[in-house]
Amino acid sequence: MVTVIIGVIAGVIFASLVAALVVRGGKKKAARILPPEERRSPDDLRLKLGEEAQPADGSAQALLEASDSITVDVEQAEKPRIALEEPEPTAGRLVRLRSRLARSNSAVGKGLLSLLSRDKLDEDTWEEIEEVLLTSDLGIGPTQELVEALRTRTRVLGTRSPEELRALLKEELLKLVDPSLDRTVRSLREDGEGPAVVLVAGVNGVGKTTTTGKLARVLIADGRSVVLGAADTFRAAAADQLETWGDRVGATTVRGAEGADPASVAFEAVRRAKELGVDTALIDTAGRLHTKTGLMDELGKVKRVVEKQGPVDEVLLVLDATTGQNGLVQARVFREVVDITGIALTKLDGTAKGGIVVAVQRELGVPVKLVGLGEGADDLAPFDPAAFVDALVGG
Ligand code: GDP
């Protein structure tokens, strides 16, 4: 009897313990799922950075200390939910956007073909051909090379059917654009060590921030994970703009308060990218002259500071194709401070002349890697020389 009573008491104690544990577990779970009104807003989760937080000496330690006060974007999971977009695949984008490119350039292609089809290719005709090429922003050197090649080849051809001429023109233009150049944006470390760092540079108004946002979509469409760094801290709007681009595709954005030290923000973006284990840290740099230091000094500093954590893999210079020769002048200035590894040519959908692709590659000795063909989110295309030449010459 006593044994039975002890057994019953032990059973009751055991059952109560189990019940208590179940209730605790349930409470824990319930605590994790807060109703929306009780969740902290993204602003609560940000740490504010003032201008005073700029590192005095730019040393890694000073930067780390300064980076404590960078406005670190909250984890995507903690942001108000927005429907994530799926960027369009990157393959074939230039073909899709071909009609935009052709709009202002098909006249050049047509003009050249009609000149080359004349019965007699005399000196006057060659001069006209040269003029058409020069007005297409090709530049003097490439124009002369092309005219020379066309002269030789039309002489050899004898009869010139429109198809033959079209094929010949395409071949020669393609040589100038140079299909052998490596146009991949270096967004993945081959050794798998840390994030690849891509700096995006350019003067205000060329489409730099937009291109950075669009490039994040290109990379994500290609299967990469990205952290964005809003190091253009001179314009608050630029950081907001970039953050919106990031939010749309689920990429974290690291930003600073307006006027914060761009180098610290860039440093923090790379640190964060490392921490999150993403493939690429994509950093939008300042495009305006700072009141104290020049834009170029600032860009050089951003690069040096980022390099404290590892090499910069890609420096993309964004140029507005509609600015023609002016764009080349900008390119020269940038080349003085950083080793540019690729060019993103924007606004080729407007009045820009396609020849600028060749001219800018020649000027900088680096390939055009991306072209902007509109204001749509996926209107940035990896540059494809053959599709480009096809669009110029038609057919
Ligand atoms: P930033 O000052 O260089 O950062 O310039 P933004 O990125 O703010 O862009 C300036 C303007 O250029 C915006 O209205 C963009 O939509 C526009 N833009 C950028 N790229 C292109 C492009 O490829 N085509 C067209 N048509 N507009 C573009």
Answer whether 170 contacts ligand 1 (Cβ < 6 A): no
Cα–Cα distances in angstroms (integers) from residue 379 to residues 215, 311, 329, in the given order: 10, 29, 26
Does residue 342 have a pLDDT over 90? yes
Least confident of 10-19, 128-137, 262-271, 345-354: 10-19
CA of 205 to the centre of ligand 1 (A): 6
Task: Report the distance separating Cα 354 and Cα 373, nearest Å.
Answer: 12
pLDDT band, residue 20 (cuts 50/70/90): very low
Residue 33: both structure tokens together: 């799922």
CB atoms within 10 A of CB 99: 12
Stretch 255-278: mean pLDDT: 94
Query: Are the C-beta atoms of 215 and 377 separated by less than 8 Å?
Result: no
CA of 265 to the centre of ligand 1 (A): 23
pLDDT band, residue 51 (cuts 50/70/90): very low
Task: Report the distance separating Cα 248 and Cα 262, nearest Å.
Answer: 24
Among residues of the chain, what percentage have pLDDT more than 70? 77
Rounded to 5 degrees, φ, ψ at 318 are -95, 125
Atom of ligand 1 nearest to the CA of 318: 3
Task: Report the distance separating Cα 377 and Cα 80, nearest Å.
Answer: 21
Does residue 59 have a pLDDT over 90? no
Note the pLDDT of residue 186.
97
Q: Whose CA is nearest to atom 22 of ligand 1?
A: 347
Partners of 283 in beta bridges: 199, 229
| Burial zone of 191 (CB within 10 Å; 0-12 exposed, 13-18 middle, 19+ buried) | exposed
Q: What is the pTM of this model?
A: 0.82
Answer whether 11 contacts ligand 1 (Cβ < 6 A): no
Question: pLDDT tens digits, residue range 361-386?
Answer: 999 999 999 999 999 999 999 999 99
Probe residue for ligand 1, chosen from 104, 233, 334, 346 as the CB with the greatest number of ligand atoms within 8 Å: 346
Question: pLDDT tens digits, residue range 304-338?
Answer: 999 999 999 999 999 999 998 888 888 888 888 89
